Amino acid sequence: MNRCAGILMPVSSLPSRYGIGAFDAAAYAFVDFLEQAGQTYWQILPLSPPNHVKSKDTPYQSFSAFAGNPYFISLDALVEEGVLTREECDAAAFGDSETKIDYDLLYANRLPLLHKAYERSRIYENPAYQTFIRDNAWWLNDYALFMACKAFFGDLEWSAWPEDISRHWDFAVDYYHRTLYYDVEFHKYTQFKFFQQWQALKAYANAKHIGIIGDIAIYVSKDSADVWAHPELFQLDEHNEQTAVAGCPPDAFSADGQIWGTPLYRWDAHRDTGFGWWMARLWMNFQRCDLLRIDHFRGLDEYFSIPAGSQTALNGHWEKGPGMALFHKMWESMGYKPVIVEDLGFMTDSVRQMVRETGFPNMKVLQFGFERDDIGAANDYLPHNIPEHCVVYPGTHDNDPINGWFRDLPEEDRQMIRDYFGCGDTERMHEVFVRAALMTRAETCIISLQDWLGMGHEGRVNEPSHLENNWHWRVAGDLLTGALSETIFEATRRYGRINWDSPEVQRSIRERMEAAGKAQTSD
């Protein structure tokens, strides 16, 4: 068994002088930090562009299943290219907080800067750009036109556009491509820069033997290029309105269940096309990352269908998904690809069977082991029950950091946890859970940066079933210290999870051994 460890850290949460984490020097410095800390993986969240107006900036309801978030394009790199000036970037308002993203300001001010860069770029003379738009035309043309039309029609959802273009009729697509030509080309340019910069960052990480764990949302937003261009693949009526929406039944996050509002798939239509859209989507994501976490994996076995217009999820019901047919097609199309299964939530025997048949490791979240007093039972999430073939987390981006979560528990639950771990009162419960996760038999252990930092509620990224105040957290740059990387390195080494392939780790070990040898000689 190859034990390893990684850190969960969204790109958006990296330090930056321009309002949101990006593919700039701070991202490269974070890769260096991971290497110095002996980590094997950087787990990110979806890189897709969020719908600011409708979905409150969650990357799980995006304008596209294929496009990248233009907010992540490094403005510093564009200054170095000479298509922006430092003064222009510094003059743009992105907010005064270094620990909170202001999406309203990003929405208002980031794209105008990128537009200036596009206008000055002479991008049409770049052979790499011509290759990019040719090779990606199969998704890029629809996405770029979709974004140009959204701006042209005042950010209305595509179903409210004039009928000819809302129904993606060929003559209308041609007309708007011509009419909005430069706006369409601008969005192609932003995608070129996004992929160019991301691939460079990923190559830098891979050269240090750090793998990227990507993340794919199971659903896409109704207000997306995918649903607009391929409505036949989704559960829409003859007017392109949703007949049912995705969500989940009541659970630990919500007594009324959750309504996500995303359209459900017509799985029969996907089967008829050999799952072509899904194969393209998976292939594209595997170009971006080394491993892929599939969000809400259980929805591929059975999905929760809620009638459109419902106020709660209480009257939803389960429907059969594609099951193993999707993965048989994936293996046939692209061979084995490494996947992490997000199988959290309401579990059934059929979901467990599908996880076993895929052979993919699934997720174990320690917080979920303490939701009720069944310490002596076979609770899958308790440290002593964690198997080898899985990925263990103290908590994920959907959970409060350990310290915040622990402080809000009823006293009897806190005492149950103290009794389980054999610890007394502590304000540093994050250390207990981090150690417990690292100790488990799980092959892979992923710990959020917030839990390494011992943060509380202020470090939460997302609270499921709540639209407001999510996806805003950023880490202050001065917290990513050499002392922290040393702490993480020592804990990772202690529990046998060091990335021995890393040149930096090998150098560090040699230096430690030499220092120890010199100390013994002097004694």
Q: How many CB atoms lie within 10 A of CB 283?
A: 13
Q: How far apart are CA 57 and CA 107, in angstroms?
A: 10
Return the amino acid letter for 416: M
From residue 411, alpha-carbon distances to 369, 406, 417, 418, 431 in Å are: 16, 10, 10, 10, 19
Closest-CA residue to 459 (of 474, 437, 476, 480): 474
CB distance 340 to 389 below 8 Å: no
DSSP character string of 398-437? TS--HHHHHHHS-HHHHHHHHHHHT--S-S-HHHHHHHHH
Q: How far apart are CA 306 and CA 223, in angstroms?
A: 18
Write the DSSP symbol of residue 240: S
Closest-CA residue to 459 (of 5, 10, 34, 102): 10
**Alpha-helix runs per DSSP H in 291-410:** 324-334, 349-358, 402-408
Query: Exposed, middle or buried by CB within 10 Å (0-12, 13-18, 19+), for 359?
Result: exposed
Q: How far apart are CA 334 and CA 279, in angstroms?
A: 9
Catalytic residues, by residue number, are 295, 342, 398
CB distance 47 to 138 below 8 Å: no
